[in-house]
Amino acid sequence: MSQTDTPRADCTACPHRDTLRAAARCEPGDRCLIAHSGRQIERFLRLNPEFAVGCLQDAFWERRAIAVRYAPVEAVRTLAHDTDEAVRRAVVTRLPPEELAAFIGDSDREVRITVASRLPPTRLHVMLGDPDYLVRQHVAQRIPHGSLSRLVHDEDREVRKEVARRLPSFVLSKMAADADPDVRAIAAARMLPDDAARMLDDPDWRVRLGAVERAPLDAIRACVDDEDQDVREQVWARLNEKRTKDTT
């Protein structure tokens, strides 16, 4: 936005004209509380946070959302049911984690994603059944390992990929038959060696490549003539590494 396009409020209608502006605590087009510009409001409240509480009931949603960042938590609680999702997201970032249960069923997925990123991991099991895959993906990134198995068969592959990245190696065999090759490839590259060996004949080269990195050397010898060049090269790299160690 050029300087000529920068929103400028009418200072003649501003109650701070003779006080804050005179003290250089606001500046039209730069730091302004009454402008319809999130950037200017943010700059103003950053310098003058004492005005945040007075903005929490403002008609302009962006002014309320920005004010949440600077107002005391006690005042922020009054906006827990604000009609605007951006305001509620801001509220969720300020409240203590133990007060976030009320937002688990919020209608906005970004609010619920923020909740999933802040709830204590031991309480995330209540969000395992969220209808939005992005929320479940965030849950999968933080939930304790003991609860991850409940997402092994999630309907969305992005969720299952997160599960494959975090499940302990000794239970990754549960994902050996996943319908998505990306999921199987992640799992194969982290499995216990004997489990990875059973993935060496997978129809997808990415899965075989991951398995070659983990399977025992005796097992990967059967893949020296694999149809995929990357798989063959990884097989020979591991075998040559073994030969080098044996000769030193």
Identify whether residues 183 and 126 lie together within a single domain: no
pLDDT of residue 248: 65
Select from 88, 83, 55 the least CA-distant residue to 71.
Answer: 55
Return the SS3 of 207.
Answer: helix
Among the ranges given (49-53, 85-89, 111-115, 238-242), the one the predictor scored with the smallest mean pLDDT: 238-242
Number of neighbouring beta carbons within 10 Å of residue 152: 18
Tokens 């999921």 label which residue?
183
The dihedral through the CA atoms of 101, 103, 107, 113 has a sign that is negative
Tell me whether residue 46 is in a domain: no
Q: Which residues pair with 31 in a beta bridge?
A: 27
Residues 137 and 195 in one domain: no
Domain-embedded: residue 4: no
Domain boundary among 151, 167, 183: 167
Reported pTM:
0.85
Over residues 17-32, the mean pLDDT reads 84
What backbone torsions phi and psi does residue 27 show, to the nearest 5 degrees?
Answer: -155, 120
- Among 167, 200, 215, where does a domain finish? 167
Q: Comparing 3-17, 38-52, 122-136, 201-215, which segment has the lowest mean pLDDT?
A: 3-17
- The total of structural domains in the chain comes to 2
Last residue of a domain, one of 133, 167, 201: 167
Q: Which two tokens stand for residue 194?
A: 């004997």
149 and 186 inside one domain: no
DSSP β-bridge partners for residue 27: 31
Domain encompassing residue 195:
175-248
Q: Is residue 25 part of a domain?
A: no
| 195 and 245 part of one domain | yes
Q: What is the pLDDT of residues 2-24, one digit of tens each?
A: 445 677 777 877 787 778 877 88
Q: Are 136 and 130 in contact (CB under 8 A)?
A: yes
